[in-house]
Each structure stands twice: as C-alpha cells, then as structure tokens.
Amino acid sequence: MQINSDKEKTLIVYFSHTGNTRRIAEQIRDNTGGDLVEIETLDEYPADHNEILEQARKEINTGYRPALKTRIESMSDYTLLFLGYPNWWGTIPTPISAFLEEHDLSGKKIAPFCTHGTGGLARTVEAVRKSCPDSKVLDAMGISNNRVHEAEGEVTEWLSHIHGK
Ligand SMILES: Cc1cc2nc3c(=O)[nH]c(=O)nc-3n(C[C@H](O)[C@H](O)[C@H](O)COP(=O)(O)O)c2cc1C
C-alpha cells in the first residue's frame, strides 16, 4: 500500500530502547515509503531493566527532558507524522516529550503507535495530544511486546484505516 502522494509527505519517527518499536516503525516505512528517523538521546539509557525503570520513573515524575541527538530541520516538508514509542509507566517516554516540544508540529497529522506490555496505550495518546495541541492526532495503534513479531496484519489494517483521515 502506498499512502505517500505528492501532497502527503510522510515521516516515521520513533524512540525505541529494546527494539520493539523500531521493528514496527520499519514495517510502517516498508508499507508507506515514508522517511524513517530514530529519536536518539545524547546519553544512553541503562541496559539493566530495573535501572531504566527507576530512571524513567524519576524523569517522568520530575518533567525532565533528556538532550537529543536528533533534530529534524526539514520538518516543515512533512504533512503526516507516524510517531512511535514504548509505553513507559503508562505515558510517553521523556525523549518523545522532548522531541515534540523541540519541533513545530502545528497543522500536521500525527498517527501515534505504541508498543507495550500489559498496559496498552494507557495515557500515551492523551500525552501526545497535550504536547501537540495544534496537530490533528489520528487514531493510535497499540501493539503488545509479545506480538511485535507477528504484527504485520495489524499494521497494514491500521495503515488502511489511517489512510484518508
Ligand atoms: C522504563 C520502562 C517502563 C515501562 N512501563 C510500562 C508500562 O507502564 N506499561 C506497559 O504495558 N509496558 C511498560 N513497559 C514495557 C515496554 O513498553 C515494552 O516492552 C515496549 O515494547 C518496549 O519497546 P522498545 O523495545 O521499543 O523500547 C516499560 C518499559 C520500560 C523500559
């Protein structure tokens, strides 16, 4: 399916710590032909699960914003943004908050996709809407981390739902 057209320029931007969200982002890229960009932080997050849980909890609770390596100078070229992230403590990871705050996304369509454990999309879409009050936030897709390897059908179904919105 090709949802890029002359008037719709698509960017797939995502943050992923353990690769689940990256895998889904790549599927979206393969299906849409959009440009793919990973949001990277200057300082890496700890690999140890308990350590990152604790660090993420503190960052979210204090409103901390990590410094990013990633900046998209050509953002004004894009009209549709697929925004991918893992559920972190029921909300969006702080690198996603930083990214949304550092770019002008007004007037753009944003299609959020989230990988998660048992918590689903939780409050993540609400957080995206709050950070992007002047964007059109489309229906989000949530993929459980144990289904990432067999999500192709869900991804294409969601893309055809998003198409034309
Ligand atoms: C810091 C942290 C917090 C998390 N909090 C939640 C949560 O509240 N609910 C949930 O369902 N999954 C939670 N998870 C699980 C991740 O959302 C899930 O494994 C996701 O697929 C990871 O994506 P990634 O591989 O792209 O980083 C958390 C993971 C981490 C590292």
Q: Architecture of domain 10-162 in CATH?
A: 3-Layer(aba) Sandwich (3.40)
Q: Please check the confidence at residue 101 and state whether its pLDDT lies above 50.
A: yes
Question: What are the residues whose beta carbons fall under 8 Å from the beta carbon of 55, sequence distance 6 or more?
Answer: 45, 46
Summary mean pLDDT of the chain: 95
| pLDDT tens digits for range 24-51 | 999 999 999 999 999 999 999 999 999 9
| pLDDT tens digits for range 108-127 | 999 999 999 999 999 999 99
Rounded to whole angstroms, how far apart are CA atoms 27 and 22?
9
What backbone torsions phi and psi does residue 85 show, to the nearest 5 degrees?
A: -160, 155
Nearest residue (by CA) to ligand 1, atom 3, is 88
What percent of the chain shows pLDDT beyond 70? 96
Q: Do residues 65 and 121 make contact, with C-beta atoms less than 8 angstroms apart?
A: no
The domains of the chain are located at 10-162
Cα 25 to middle of ligand 1, angstroms: 16
| pLDDT tens digits for range 49-59 | 999 999 999 99
Nearest residue (by CA) to ligand 1, atom 22, is 86
